[in-house]
Structure 1
């Protein structure tokens, strides 16, 4: 968050004759971060956090207005199946978002801005300690303080639900 637009731009804008190009996506915390990301030569902005309401940009009710505010670059909302990191951050219970047997995940997909060119990221990369995993899982008690919940409809619940939600969007 502390790198200037000029420093980012130096890394993204090439004077080389070779025209290899990646698609660079920057983290947005609030809607007024968009101008800096655009002037830094990022190609898009994304919200990353799976806890709805953790930041302005991760608040699903704000996504449509953020799309309008970030007109110069696409806004890519991030969804997640829930969030609970109190196994590793015991003080962070306020950020916990219950999976509600899939209802939380479904609501995040429902709140995605409308449009034909929409992109969404799913914040879930084996983040077992943050409770955002969608990979197959069964209940596991690691210790008296660390427990992982099973899924309400079996180990593949969120893989199947993700497929259903993506094709319904």
Structure 2
């Protein structure tokens, strides 16, 4: 972060002590031993980042239920669910978000549910058809966004803006095909359907947060 930590491209989040720090999502965090994370992310760790110029808000990926305890012990500031396919993992299953949020609240962690517009990655993983989730003209996206708002999170992440190979893009889409592939589009809707849905739900999220604080 030296030379980059003050850049406006870093998303920053205000924590309880008033500090505003860059926020980092750490994919596959569970592949590194909990003890190694604790050396970096707990205040007593031998290589602790806490209180230094390298400090931040570090969000781990939760896949299995057991990971929530590892995330806590590792000194992370929160957890996110990442996968856009509802039911793909324990963490990405909407039905488990209430329990995960309760665990996070009890342990002063951020819970960041991740929402996607749909999922289809069979062009690169032909064997993974069972995790395909149809967009249903935007209804799948809105169902996920509502499930996220239902648990009153501080942050909702979107998976993703432009991962066409996994069918999770929300950027503008027009009909396009190559010799090997026909790309998804949003017809009969406008090319910016998912950007407009995102705008609508962001506004709703802000309204809901104001009510939660009353």
TM-score of the two chains, using structure 2 as the length reference: 0.72
Deviations 1:61-88 (A, max 9, x none): 2111111133312221100000000111
Match of 1:127 among 143, 147, 163: 163
1:51 to 85, 97, 103: 85
Aligned to 1:23: 57
Q: Distance in 1 between matches of 2:165 and 2:139?
A: 21
1:168 aligns with 2:204: yes
Question: How far off is 1:12 after superposition?
Answer: 2.5
| Matching residue within 178, 189, 197 for 1:142 | 178
In 2 relative to 1, CA 147–17 (structure 1 residues): closer, same or farther, beyond 3 Å? closer
Structure 1 Cα separation of the partners of residues 174 and 49 of structure 2: 51
Give unpaired runs (5+ residues) of structure 2.
1-29, 43-47, 206-214
CA distance in 1, matches of 2:67, 2:145: 23
Paired residue for 2:128? 92
1:3 partnered with 2:13: no
* Contact 1:137 1:155 survives alignment (8 Å): yes
Q: Which has the higher contact order (CA 8 A, sep 6+)?
A: 1
Give the Cα–Cα distance (whole angstroms) in 2 for the partners of residues 133 and 16 of structure 1.
35
User: In structure 2, do the counterparts of structure 1 residues 96 and 18 end up closer, same or farther at CA, with 3 Å as the change threshold?
Assistant: closer
Could you list the per-position Cα deviations for residues 33-77 of structure 1 after superposition, in whole angstroms to 9, with x for gaps in the alignment?
111111111110000000000001101121111111333122211
Equivalent-residue separation in structure 2 for 1:16 and 1:80 (angstroms): 32
**Paired positions, count:** 167
Asked if structure 2 preserves the Cα contact closer than 8 Å seen for 1:31 and 1:69, the reply is: no
| Structure 1 CA distance for aligned equivalents of residues 115 and 51 of structure 2 | 38
Q: 1:105 to 1:16 in 2, by over 3 A?
A: closer
Residue 40 of structure 2 contacts residue 49 of structure 2 at CA under 8 Å; is this kept in 1? no
User: Which whole-Å CA distance do the structure 2 matches of 1:122 and 1:142 have between them?
Assistant: 28
The alignment's TM-score, normalised by the length of structure 1, stands at: 0.90
Distance of aligned partners of 1:21 and 1:53 in 2 relative to their CA distance in 1, 3 Å threshold:
same
